[in-house]
């Protein structure tokens, strides 16, 4: 056997010997530990944020429908220092008295995102969802106008616009609505 072949064989034997020793050491470590787990890829486990908030403490924000002009009403929000991320409005009006109803964003949310806008002129309902933009992702803490509702009056009879049960106000970090009161408006 020449020297070159012999060197290769010694090299291979040395490498196999090292792998054998490392393997035996790993097996010994694992065998000695009952609950040994080798993790190749680790993903952090989310830690739930536990908030023990009673319903009375949670419901803080107030929504009010405010008469602005003979043809418009504002939806005004007082968040009571909560971080507001979105508002969902479900409103009812009399379609026999009010027509050509529309709803547009107010000034509360800078660069607002309107997620849903459905006006049913036969049933007299409005379903409207508006919130902070994903770009800014800045919650709102100040009082302000969520939206403005415009309309044309068919008659001079008294009517009202009122909130329905699906009206909600959401806040960052809280998975329930924080709406406390929602006050309707009478239009004379």
Class of domain 58-187: mainly beta
N-terminal to C-terminal alpha carbon distance within the chain: 112
The reported pLDDT for the residue numbered 57 is 55
Please state the separation of Cα 132 from the chain's center in Å.
9
Q: Which residue has better confidence, 19 or 162? A: 162
Phi-psi category of residue 97: left, alpha or beta, with phi > 0 → left and psi -120 to 50 → alpha:
alpha
Q: Which residue has better confidence, 3 or 21? A: 3
pLDDT over 70, % of the chain: 69
Query: Locate tokens 């547009």: which residue?
Result: 104
How far, in Å, are 62, 89, 110, 113, 122 from residue 130 at the CA level? Answer: 16, 9, 11, 6, 23
Average pLDDT, the chain: 81
The reported pLDDT for the residue numbered 40 is 41
Structure tokens at 137: 């992702």
Inform me whether the pLDDT recorded for 151 exceeds 60.
yes
CA-wise closest residue to 27 among 17, 18, 36? 36
Give the pLDDT band of residue 60 (cuts 50, 70, 90): confident
How far, in Å, are 36, 65, 83, 124, 129 from residue 138 at the CA level? Answer: 45, 25, 9, 33, 17
Q: Which residue has better confidence, 87 or 44? A: 87
Inform me whether the pLDDT recorded for 166 exceeds 70.
yes
The residues spanned by each domain of the chain are 1-42, 58-187
Please state the rounded mean pLDDT for residues 38-60.
46
Q: What is the pTM of this model?
A: 0.69
């Amino acid at each position: 056997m020449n020297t070159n072949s012999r060197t290769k064989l010694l090299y291979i034997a040395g490498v196999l010997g090292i792998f054998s020793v490392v393997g035996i050491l790993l097996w010994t470590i694992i065998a000695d530990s009952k609950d040994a787990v080798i993790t190749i890829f680790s993903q952090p486990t989310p830690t739930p944020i536990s908030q023990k908030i009673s319903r009375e403490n949670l419901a803080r924000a107030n929504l009010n429908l405010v008469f602005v002009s003979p043809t418009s009403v504002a939806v005004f929000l007082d968040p009571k220092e909560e971080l507001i991320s979105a508002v969902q409005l479900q409103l009812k009006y009399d379609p026999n008295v009010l027509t050509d109803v529309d709803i547009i964003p107010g000034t509360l949310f800078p660069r607002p995102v309107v997620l849903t806008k459905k006006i049913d002129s036969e049933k007299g309902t409005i379903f409207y969802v508006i919130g902070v933009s994903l770009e800014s992702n800045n919650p709102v803490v100040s009082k302000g106008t969520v939206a403005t509702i415009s309309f044309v009056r068919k008659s001079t009879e008294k009517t009202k616009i009122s909130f329905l049960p699906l009206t909600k106000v959401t806040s960052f970090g809280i998975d329930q609505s924080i709406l406390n009161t929602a006050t309707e408006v009478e239009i004379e």
